[in-house]
Amino acid sequence: MRLRSPFFVLTLAGMAGSLDAQQPAVPAPTRVARAVDAGVLRAHLEFLADDALEGRAPGTRGGDLAARYIAAQFRRLGLEPAGDSGTYYQRVPIISLTPEPALEVTAPAPARLGWKQDYVLWSMRNDSSVALEGDVVFAGYGIVAPESGWNDYAGLDVKGKYVVVLVNDPGLVDSTLFRGKILTYYGRWTYKIEEARRQGAAGLLLVHTTESATYPWTTVLSGWTGPQVRLETPPGSLVVAGWLQRDVAGRLFQQGEKNLDELAKAAARPGFRGVALGVRLRGTVRSAIRRSETANVLGRLPGRGPLAREAVLIGGHYDHFGIGAAVDGDSIYNGAEDNASGTAAVLTAAEAFIRSGVRTARSLVFAGFAAEESGLIGSQALADDPVIPLRDIAAILNLDVVNLYGRTRDVSALGLDQSSLGQAFAQAAGAEGLQVTENEEALLQGSYFRSDHFPLARVGIPGTSIERGSEFVGRPAGWGKQQEDEYVAKRYHQPSDEILPWFTYDGAMQQLRVTVRTALLIGNAPGQPNWNRTSEFREAGEKRRAGGTW
């Protein structure tokens, strides 16, 4: 064999280096998108959804194992602890109260109400027994919306009183008001409770109809007669909250010589003023109390430069329902899709940034949220007691049930019309060759208010939950909706939500590439995303940016 001279070899090496230097550098968004790895996601998913984790219920061995696994992965990747006291964990204290109420009208004429038949009621205090007695007032829809010029509490003194309100918002009756048939946060029962508390009321009673609530009375019974699980926080003015059947509320109004139907019509018109009903209530709520504790898991990839103190959150909840009633001999509620898949996606996104070496101006904080299935409790704990000042959290990208069904031509997300975050998401989707589609059913049902980005939205932080698209490659029109309906009917919140042999990961990769590109855009933008002028969260956002509280 003929040997080349060292000079010749060095010359070739120098030419190769020169040619490499002439190649254009791969842009950061492309590098981090290419680093998203299906094998990584699958490995995390298969562990988190395994029977060994016993369904990952909060405060159980399986839930604790899941939290420790996430923290171990953050440590492996070199993420900084971003929880309490230099750890990866943020404490989440939980209280559960199982109510046993009694309620009666004392004036103008005595009348006892039947629990479950006429009403449901639960305690808003952290005590085993509370008593209530006082006057009843009607506050329309119970809404204060400055951006819409709407104030149902204007001129109405509700301090220490019991407020009756309608569910949903006036757009349900008049499509020119609020967002028409699209449910706003003002229409949600959670908002009604928050506003009544802000107004100093002692109690809140929601008038139920299937149309306005979007679910029947049986759902009220299943959701509000058993354990009421919430974040344990200091109590406010509210002693109790509950629901009234529509016909029962009508009789209550008649006792005060008022007509519910007429007042409900008036409440849907601008300028409505609430009224005292001339009725008094008295009652008690005895509660069996159970306390427990779980934790959010938080890891930080530090930013570079003067914006590093700010952060973009990428999160998903890791909890599910643990061990429960057996179905076809299986009692472990693995929650593979909901939400081992989202947790695995968060870990995969973190690894993509580490592998690619891509860094953003703002820090990236990766979060495993606890106790979402109990009512967004973990994310609420972060909003109530933030480990990062709220003014410094630019946005949250939430991953809750990722696409394990196949590639799509489109991608979706909740609340893209709420803030300028929607523009960044559309740009990221376009870079992946995907159209952005809107889920109309999710808009009508208020899905934006039911996942872990939402407690942060309430305190003014723009956020979204990334959703799969509906146009599946190689599948007929409507196939995606059929798969979703089948999941809801047969596997959602059931032991059968487990790893299935036909899962495929290319659709999840599409979602994740859009997610990391969106995080990169927000992380490097000169300013934080802004709420749109018509958003119900705009005022909270302005207070947050000013350093105030909501």
Q: How does residue 442 score in pLDDT terms, banded at 50, 70 and 90?
A: confident
On the question of pLDDT at 3 being above 50, the answer is: no
Q: Is residue 550 part of a domain?
A: no
What average pLDDT does the segment 512-522 reach? 98
Cross-strand partners of 323:
332
Asked whether residue 399 falls in the same domain as residue 445, the answer is yes
Asked whether residue 243 falls in the same domain as residue 370, the answer is no
Asked whether residue 71 falls in the same domain as residue 104, the answer is no
On the question of pLDDT at 544 being above 50, the answer is: yes
Q: How does residue 2 score in pLDDT terms, banded at 50, 70 and 90?
A: very low
Asked whether residue 221 falls in the same domain as residue 113, the answer is yes
pLDDT, one tens digit per residue, over 11-28 is 444 444 443 445 578 999
Asked whether residue 381 falls in the same domain as residue 464, the answer is yes
Q: Is residue 3 part of a domain?
A: no
Asked whether residue 492 falls in the same domain as residue 455, the answer is yes
Structural domain count of the chain: 2
Question: How much is the pLDDT for 147?
Answer: 87
Q: Is residue 406 part of a domain?
A: yes
Q: Are 449 and 184 in contact (CB under 8 A)?
A: no
Asked whether residue 115 falls in the same domain as residue 211, the answer is yes
Indicate the pTM of the whole model. 0.89
C-alpha span between 453 and 462 (Å, rounded): 8
Any idea what the CATH number is for the domain that residue 390 is in?
3.40.630.10
Of 289, 323, 348, the residue at which a domain comes to its end is 289
Q: Is residue 343 part of a domain?
A: yes
Of 257, 289, 321, the residue at which a domain comes to its end is 289
Burial of 345 (0-12, 13-18, 19+ CB in 10 A): buried
pLDDT, one tens digit per residue, over 102-119 is 999 999 999 999 999 999
What average pLDDT does the segment 382-411 reach? 97
Q: Is residue 528 part of a domain?
A: yes
The residue type at 264: A
Asked whether residue 265 falls in the same domain as residue 398, the answer is no
Asked whether residue 62 falls in the same domain as residue 129, the answer is no
Of 289, 317, 345, the residue at which a domain comes to its end is 289
Asked whether residue 331 falls in the same domain as residue 267, the answer is no
On the question of pLDDT at 222 being above 90, the answer is: no
Q: Which helix (H) or strand (E) holds 486?
A: helix 479-490
**Residue ranges making up the domain that contains 173:** 95-289
Asked whether residue 246 falls in the same domain as residue 360, the answer is no
C-alpha span between 197 and 214 (Å, rounded): 24
On the question of pLDDT at 177 being above 90, the answer is: yes
Q: Which of 111-125, 218-232, 459-473 has the lowest mean pLDDT?
A: 218-232
Question: How much is the pLDDT for 57?
Answer: 93
pLDDT, one tens digit per residue, over 282-294 is 999 999 999 999 9
What 3-state class would DSSP assign to 344? helix
Question: How much is the pLDDT for 23?
Answer: 55
Q: Is residue 121 part of a domain?
A: yes
Of 402, 412, 413, 405, the residue nearest 338 (C-alpha): 402
Any idea what the CATH number is for the domain that residue 217 is in?
3.50.30.30
Asked whether residue 126 falls in the same domain as residue 274, the answer is yes
Q: Are 464 and 397 in contact (CB under 8 A)?
A: yes
Phi, psi torsion values for 369, nearest 5 degrees: -85, 140
Q: How does residue 4 score in pLDDT terms, banded at 50, 70 and 90?
A: very low
pLDDT, one tens digit per residue, over 343-366 is 999 999 999 999 999 999 999 999
Q: Is residue 13 part of a domain?
A: no
Q: Is residue 213 part of a domain?
A: yes
Of 166, 197, 93, 311, the residue nearest 550 (C-alpha): 197
